[in-house]
Amino acid sequence: MAGWVVARAPATVSNLGPGFDCLGLAVDRWYDEVAVRTVEGGEIRVVEITGDPGLGAERLPSDPQANTAAVAARAVRDRVGSRAGLEIRLHKGLPLGSGLGSSGASAAAGALAAATALGADLAVETLVEAAREGEAVACGAPHVDNVGPCVLGGIVLAIPSGPLRLCRLPVPEDLHLVVYTPGCSVATAEARAVLPDRLPREDHVVQAARLGLLVHALHAGDLLLLGEAMVDLLAEPVRAGLIPGFSAAKAAAYEAGALACGISGAGPTVFAMTNRAGHGDRLLALLDEQFQLAGVPGRGAVCRVGGGAEIVAPVPH
């Protein structure tokens, strides 16, 4: 596509046990792609939205004020101080409303493609801030726990409010993931509405201690300790009931030796962790079996922690 700059951005698993709203990782399996080119006239237009079958791309708005990729591209243009027009094409490889950071991925790819098309070499923090604006129009809040790892790649701890702080945490070499999206939907608004406003003090202390333990485990490369830390007292207890089959699937994964199993983001996607390369297929089959039994078969994959948003088809100016 001469004249177009194409960026892709990955699916993310966010929250990660005690890291509600502040911890997430990039997955090396599914991507959204956004192509951007500069045009005369100063307008920002979404000229095409496509998607892999069954992912819901047809539901996305092409209004540039409402489309996450376009809002992120505009946010980049504002930061660069450019008045160039932008044309945008979006291809969805991530399912909408699945807990895999779909809107964040479109926003991150839109931000990076726009920056590159405008010839701007922006700091990752600036790209994340621009992508958060895109995320906010889709989700109502500028979540950074998926946009952060989506832009940076790896496992990222982010401070969600106040001055932006993003920390890339070490990724243990023997960490393998299973990611499964059951065939049901969970409205993000509902998943947030069930959250408690407050956590009892003793739960807060344990949750905070586990988040510290999790960061320590990643630095130590100790996956058994990581598994011990991967318990959430805030969101999972109240969200588990929104995902048919989740509790049985989680029990089966632990029974089969998973180090961790939990809900990705607001759900319904579920993830499991293992330190054995060949074990992922077994866990994937188990999750599939459990969600079939629950009447919500879906799709999943064994994957690894992956890189962040990247340019896949640069075009010279």
Binding site for ligand HSE (CB under 6 A): 14-15, 21, 143, 145-146, 191-192, 235, 265-266
Residue placing its CB nearer to ligand HSE in the complex, 15 or 116? 15
With 0-12 / 13-18 / 19 or more C-beta atoms within 10 angstroms meaning exposed / middle / buried, residue 82 is middle
Considering beta carbons, is residue 168 or 192 the nearer one to ligand HSE?
Answer: 192
Q: In terms of CB distance, is 33 or 145 closer to ligand HSE?
A: 145
Cis peptide before 268 (omega within 30 of 0): yes
**Directed axis angle between helix 144-152 and helix 102-117, to 10°?**
50
| CA atoms lying within 13 Å on the CB side of residue 83 | 2
CB 69 within 8 A of CB 34: yes
Residue pair 156/167 in contact (Cβ under 8 Å)? The answer is: yes
Q: Which residue is nearest to ligand HSE (CB)?
A: 143
Name which of 57 and 235 has its Cβ closer to ligand HSE: 235
CB of 222 to ligand HSE, least distance (A): 25
CB nearer ligand HSE, residue 12 or residue 67 = 12
Least spacing, CB of residue 142 vs ligand HSE, in Å: 9
Contact present, 46 and 64 (Cβ < 8 Å): yes
Closest approach of Cβ 180 to ligand HSE, in Å?
17
In the complex, what is the shortest distance from the CB of residue 155 to ligand HSE, in angstroms, rounded to a whole number? 15
* Residue 161 C-beta: closest distance to ligand HSE, Å: 13
**Can you name the residues that pair with 261 across neighbouring β-strands?**
272
